[in-house]
Structure 1
Amino acid sequence: MSDDLFTPLTLRGTEIPNRVTVSPMCQYSCEAGDGLATEWHRVHLGSRAVGGAGLVLTEATAVEPRGRISPQDLGIWSDDHADALAPITEFIRDQGRVPGIQLAHAGRKGSKTRPADGSVPLQPDEGGWETLAPSDHYPYGGDEPPATRRMDSDDISDVVTAFELSAERALDAGFEVAEVHAAHGYLLHEFLSPVANDRDDEYGGSFENRTRLVREVTAAVRDVWPDDKPVFVRVSATDWLPDRDSWTVEDTVRLSGRLADAGADLIDVSAGGLHPDQQVPDGGPNYQVPYAERVRKATDAAVGAVGGITTGQQADALIRNDRADLAIVGREHLRDPYFALNAARELGMSDRIDPPVQYQRVF
């Protein structure tokens, strides 16, 4: 009998009770500059756990202050950040769900106002900061981007260490899954793509060199993450820049095996985000799932699929048809915090998921 949406998934020694995952989605809801989780984060993430999702991932959580997208981004660069996140992970676990954190560095796409304020580049005297990138020629929109430094070897070493230390803090905070964010045009993706990386050292040029940093970061996180808990890596399968020498699905398939060798247990397959000229396909149902399917066929690691997943029947079919191991649901979870509970009812599987005792009379 094939797996379905409500079959548990065990990765290493961690059991995810069902295949519904809350995708990382930035909330831009910290007090400006401090990166500390707030009541908004507790209610936002906690309500999705109440809603039945087997795995609840935080938004992109910056491993250092320069790794934020906006001053209101969530962070994990100090023990205070771990302390602020600990009550959230405790609540998620109390619901029988698994808390996960996405560790991130925005790189060249940082130092912006939040989207509600226009995503306008911020200069240092406006609360912004100098951003980091593999190369100094690469803008990402805005009339006057903040100053960017081409990273030297010390910067690269510091970033690897920042991911490692942040993983240790995340573990102290009670997270059970650590995801490395290497997608959507942020720092690690910038190193991967020849569109953003014109280096001629050991971190640029060849496929081996351009993938070196994400492999080092994945290995560093794996080194400090317990053997019985999984590490994920989110990748952009393609830059959606067909007319340029860019990152492609074939590159992603090739990288996925190397990431598995570095300690990744699941590849979270998204796409795009690197350059404003990207040609995004019409976002119909499952529009990014074929990328995940390609990766799944080529690697021993588990795979998560994203993109236009809006119904329980659709998510269930992804698992039943062996297209992915997790259905990673973003925007639909903003519309419906109880997506998993409602999917179980829609599919006639309410006996396969445990709603909170307070809600049992309706589910």
Structure 2
Amino acid sequence: MNHLFSSFKHKGLDLKNRVVMPPMCQYSVTAKDGIATEWHYQHYVSRAVGGAGLIIIEMTDIEPDGRISDYDLGLWSDDQIPPLARIVDACHLYGAKVGIQIAHSGRKAQDAAIPVAPSAVPFDENSKTPREMTTDEVKQMVEKFRMAVRRAVKAGFDTIELHGAHGYLIHQFHSPLTNRRTDEYGNELTKFGIETIQAAKSEMPDDMPLIMRISAIEYVEGGYGMKESVAFSKQYQLAGVDMFHISAGGEGPIAAWGRPGTHAAYQVPLAREIKHALNVPVIAVGRLDDPGLANAVIGNEDADLVAVGRGMLRNPYWGLEAAAVLKKETAIPKQYVSGFPGK
């Protein structure tokens, strides 16, 4: 039976365990030009030392105005490649594989003078009203995703994740709440996502898996649910997605009637449904910090990988601690062996 510290392989991605550090923006004030800094290096490499099998670098944007804030990372310039490559190389030294989340925040770009989006629908009453992109601008955006993925491949990443969740640009296109266009990208809500996936795959080695993060449910009145997310995920799978990272929400203010639970593992059923509906590997996320619970998600075959976010923000060595709690074998740096009883 598989468990949290059993190995996992899909295409060319070979992981020592099933512990994932999900993308979490650092909003580092030193990253003004979208370039990874010493903070990012220490932040990610420490999690590799701490036992994570896969580390996914935070939301990294395809153009300056695609960032949530001016303090987010970017891959719109070749100048941004070397600092990311340095992080990848160092993480590899400690046995972790590294992915990167490529994205555009669309209408949620807080520091853009005028954000762009599928339609001129603001996020909320306190947000800027975005400008609806022309059809040609949408096609140019697909090209910007492609070029960002090309740079990520040059940086040596082991996998790429496209951000299609949490109300950011790809999500904005496949949600009827935010896509009110009348052109080809409105007539077929998944067209932008499909073209972006195909563009990404055209730049990736054949054995490199493409991950897509999705919001499986929109917790807002009139939003889509599991039936719709299963349907669009099947289209994305046919376009080239190899693995899905399952989250929820993010497209707008959450109405009281649809507020999700905050209990442990509240999003695991969403991951399980996508996994079995598509027969595809999935990453589960959402309050899975307890090692026993994370292990059960794998053992019960609810998901193939488990993402631990806030737990790894609190403890860079969550992976080592979890292995000790579960009494599973994992590589412990020799400098730290004396801190683990029985080693």
Same structural fold, with TM-score higher than 0.5 when normalized by the shorter chain: yes
Classify 1:142/1:95 alpha carbon distance in 2 versus 1 (closer, same or farther; 3 Å).
farther
Cα offset, 1:130, TM superposition: 2.2
Unaligned segments of structure 1, at least 5 residues: 113-127
**Distance in 2 between residues matched to 1:150 and 1:295, nearest whole Å:** 31
Distance 1:32 1:102 in 2: 17
* Conservation of the 8 A alpha-carbon contact between 1:257 and 1:300: no
After superposition, the Cα gap between the structure-2 partners of 1:32 and 1:24, relative to the gap in structure 1 and judged at 3 Å, is closer
Change (3 A) 1:101 1:30: farther
- Mapped to 2, the partners of 1:273 and 1:211 lie a distance apart of 18
Query: How many Å apart are 1:8 and its aligned residue?
Result: 1.1
Q: Is the 8 A contact 1:272 1:280 kept in 2?
A: no
Among residues 311, 327, 335, which one is paired with 2:290 in the alignment?
311
In the alignment, which residue of structure 2 is the partner of 1:86? Answer: 85
CA distance in 1, matches of 2:233, 2:179: 20
Aligned residue in 2 for 1:268? 245
TM-score by length of 2: 0.95
- What are the ranges of 5 or more consecutive residues in structure 2 without an aligned counterpart? none
State the alpha-carbon separation in 1 of the partners of residues 268 and 124 from structure 2. Answer: 28
Aligned to 2:264: 285
Match of 1:124 in 2: none
Using the aligned pairs only, state the percent identity.
Answer: 42
- Report the alpha carbon displacement of residue 171 of structure 1 after superposing the two structures with TM: 1.1
Output the CA distance in 1 between the equivalents of 2:103 and 2:207: 22
Q: CA deviation at 1:139?
A: 1.2
Distance 2:89 2:333 in 1: 15
> Of the candidates 140, 150, 168, which is equivalent to residue 123 of structure 2?
140
Query: Residues 105-126 of structure 1: CA distance to partner in whole angstroms, max 9, x if unpaired?
Result: 00000034xxxxxxxxxxxxxx
1:247 and 1:214 mapped to 2: Cα distance?
Answer: 16
Asked whether the 8 Å contact 2:159–2:208 carries over to 1, the reply is: yes
Name 1:34's counterpart in structure 2.
Answer: 33
- Match of 1:223, SS state, is helix
Structure-to-structure mapping, 1:52-71, within 5 angstroms? 52-71=51-70
What is aligned with 1:201? 183
Matched with 2:236 is 259
Mapping 1:165-176, distance limit 5 Å: 165-176=147-158
Residue correspondence of structure 1 range 3-42 to structure 2 within 5 A:
3-31=2-30, 33-42=32-41
Q: Which amino acid aligns with 1:39?
A: E
Matched, 1:183 2:165: yes
**Offset, 1:5:** 0.7
Cα deviation digits, residues 160-203 of structure 1 (max 9, x gap):
11111111111111111100000000111111111111112211
Query: How far apart, CA to CA, are the structure 1 residues paired with 2:21 and 2:282?
Result: 15
Compute the displacement of 1:265 (Å): 1.1
1:30 positional shift? 4.5
Instruction: Please name the residue that 1:332 is paired with.
Output: 311
Q: Which moved more, 1:209-218 or 1:278-287?
A: 278-287
Q: In structure 2, do the counterparts of structure 1 residues 30 and 90 end up closer, same or farther at CA, with 3 Å as the change threshold?
A: farther
Corresponding letter in the other structure for 2:232: L
Give per-residue Cα distances to partners, 1:40-67, cap 9 Å, x unaligned. Answer: 1011111111110100011100011121
- 1:185-243, Cα deviation, whole Å (9 max, x unpaired): 011111111111111221114xxx101111111111111111121110000001112x3
The amino acid of 1:289's aligned partner reads V
What amino acid is aligned across from residue 132 of structure 1 in structure 2? V
In the alignment, is the contact (CA less than 8 A) between 2:216 and 2:229 conserved in 1? yes
Q: CA RMSD in A?
A: 1.3
CA contact (8 A) 1:30 1:37 kept: no
- Asked whether the 8 Å contact 1:30–1:38 carries over to 2, the reply is no
Which whole-Å deviations, capped at 9, do the CAs of 1:76-99 have from their partners, x for residues lacking one?
111111112111111111111101
Equivalent residue for 1:119?
none
